[in-house]
Amino acid sequence: MYGYQFFQWILFFFIYCFFGWIWESCYVSVKERKWVNRGFLHGPLIPIYGFGAIAVLFAAIPVRDELVFVYIFGMAGATFLEYVTGAVMEKIFKVRYWDYSGKFLNLNGHICLMASLAWGVFSVLLIRYIHAPVESVVLGLQADVAEILAFVMVVAFAVDATQSFNEAMDLREIVERITENSQELQRIQKRVDVIVAIIDADIQEYRKREERSKRENPLRELSETISEYLERARTKSEGAAHSIREEIDRVCDEMKRLQESLGKQQLKMGQVKGKQYLRSVRLLRRNPGAVSRDHREALEGIMQESNIISRFKRK
């Protein structure tokens, strides 16, 4: 089995990418109750399965006669590959395209016990039943035909991967931008709430003192109350009230600047929605289970809009 030519390994890779796409698309489509063209790429390929199969072949072929070792080595190799791939993709794109966080014995959401056990089963099936007929088909091709087919598939794969990579980077830019705007709005809202609370407390304090003065001696205290209030108003205007006004003015200026910034940002988002946004939506449709730890709300908002667009198109 180690006597394969390089182009034959390439064909094996694409065949198992295709098998993985069939499995994932059928599984997710049943789960979502609608057809889902599953995967990171546009075409019917899921690279993790191709790389996983190649890793299993390299790890398990030396012990192919011992199914226990096939299971262990295949499980270990595929699990390592899945973890590295998931961690690298999340680091680059800020989105996790598969997530095992809710699964038993998971590691950072990239791998889990059940998935690893499944990789072991897949390794046994691959070595014992699946690879032999696949090998026969690939080795049965004429060398020239196989090389041309491998070259064409590599070119198509490179084009698809480049486009999908750009879509993923567009999605990253969009969720980061939405999250940044949301955080800025929350910061301004908190500052406004503090100022409103200070003003409200000041008003309530005056009303309580006024009511207390009226109850104690409405006639005798009236003049003193008016004088006291005028003095209090004067000191407030010179001291605390002046600070509050300055704070209000400053926050208003901040809000105006923020409004201008949001206007520019809205214009940019409008431009993005014609290109990047729609491409990102298509990417999320292919990966309905995608999550993001740092940009969860932004990603959920885009996915909700994606579902609305999808339902509208079906109608």
Query: What's the pLDDT tens digit per position in 206-219?
Result: 667 656 655 555 54
Please indicate whether residue 192 or residue 66 has the higher confidence score (pLDDT).
Answer: 66
In this predicted structure, what is the pLDDT of residue 181?
73
Q: Which of 171, 136, 170, 141 is nearest to 153 (CA)?
A: 141
Query: Is the distance from CB of 48 to CB of 82 less than 8 angstroms?
Result: yes
DSSP 217: -
* 19 within a domain of the structure (yes/no): yes
Q: Residue 29 is encoded by which pair of tokens?
A: 């489509």
pLDDT score recorded for residue 35: 84
Please tell me whether residues 122 and 204 are part of one structural domain. Answer: no
- 89 and 208 share a domain? no
- Cα–Cα distance measured from residue 19 to residue 11, given in angstroms and rounded to the nearest whole number: 12
Is 171 within the bounds of a domain?
no
Indicate whether 180 and 137 sit together in one domain: no
Residue 162 maps to a domain: no
pLDDT above 90 for 112: yes
pLDDT score for 314: 53
How many structural domains compose the chain? 2
What percentage of residues in the chain have a pLDDT greater than 90?
A: 31
- 86 and 200 co-located in one domain: no
Q: Which of 12-26, 122-136, 238-252 has the lowest mean pLDDT?
A: 238-252
Provide mean pLDDT across the span 263-286.
65
Q: What would the mean pLDDT of 151-167 be, rounded to a whole number?
A: 93
246 and 192, same domain (yes or no):
yes
How confident is the model at residue 275, as a pLDDT? Answer: 65
**Does residue 158 register a pLDDT over 80?**
yes
The phi, psi pair for 111, rounded to 5°, reads: -140, 160
Q: Do 135 and 216 lie in a common domain?
A: no
Of the residues 141, 166, 193, the one at which a domain ends: 141
pLDDT (tens digit per residue) in 39-86: 889 899 999 899 989 988 888 877 888 889 999 988 998 899 999 999
Q: Is 52 exposed, middle or buried (0-12, 13-18, 19+ CB in 10 A)?
A: buried
CA separation for the pair 149, 8 (Å, rounded): 10
Q: Return the CA Rg of the chain.
A: 32
Q: Are 194 and 95 members of one domain? A: no
Question: Looking at the structure, do residues 186 and 133 belong to the same domain, yes or no?
Answer: no
132 with 213, same domain? no
Please state the rounded mean pLDDT for residues 5-19.
94
Residue 11 lies in a domain: yes
In which domain, by residue range, is 220 found?
176-314
- Do both 116 and 246 map to the same domain? no
Regarding whether 76 and 18 lie in a shared domain, the answer is yes
Decide: 92 and 166 in contact? Cβ < 8 Å.
no
Q: Which of 25-39, 138-152, 176-190 has the lowest mean pLDDT?
A: 176-190
Q: Are residues 218 and 90 in the same domain?
A: no
Which one of 114, 141, 168 terminates a domain? 141
What is residue 102's predicted lDDT score, i.e. its pLDDT? Answer: 86
Residue 8 banded pLDDT, cuts 50, 70, 90: very high
Does 37 map to a domain?
yes
Say if residue 237's pLDDT is above 70: no
Looking at 141, 162, 191, the residue that finishes a domain is 141
Return the residue matching tokens 């209030």: 229
HEC sequence for 153-216 = HHHHHHHHHHHHHHHHHHHHHHHHHHHHHHHHHHHHHHHHHHHHHHHHHHHHHHHHHHHHHHHH
Residue 146 is assigned to a structural domain of this protein: no
Confidence of residue 313 (pLDDT cuts 50, 70, 90): low
Mean pLDDT on 253-268: 62
Residue-averaged pLDDT of the chain = 79
Residue 159 lies in a domain: no
Residue 76 lies in a domain: yes
- What H or E segment, with its residue span, contains residue 140? helix 131-140
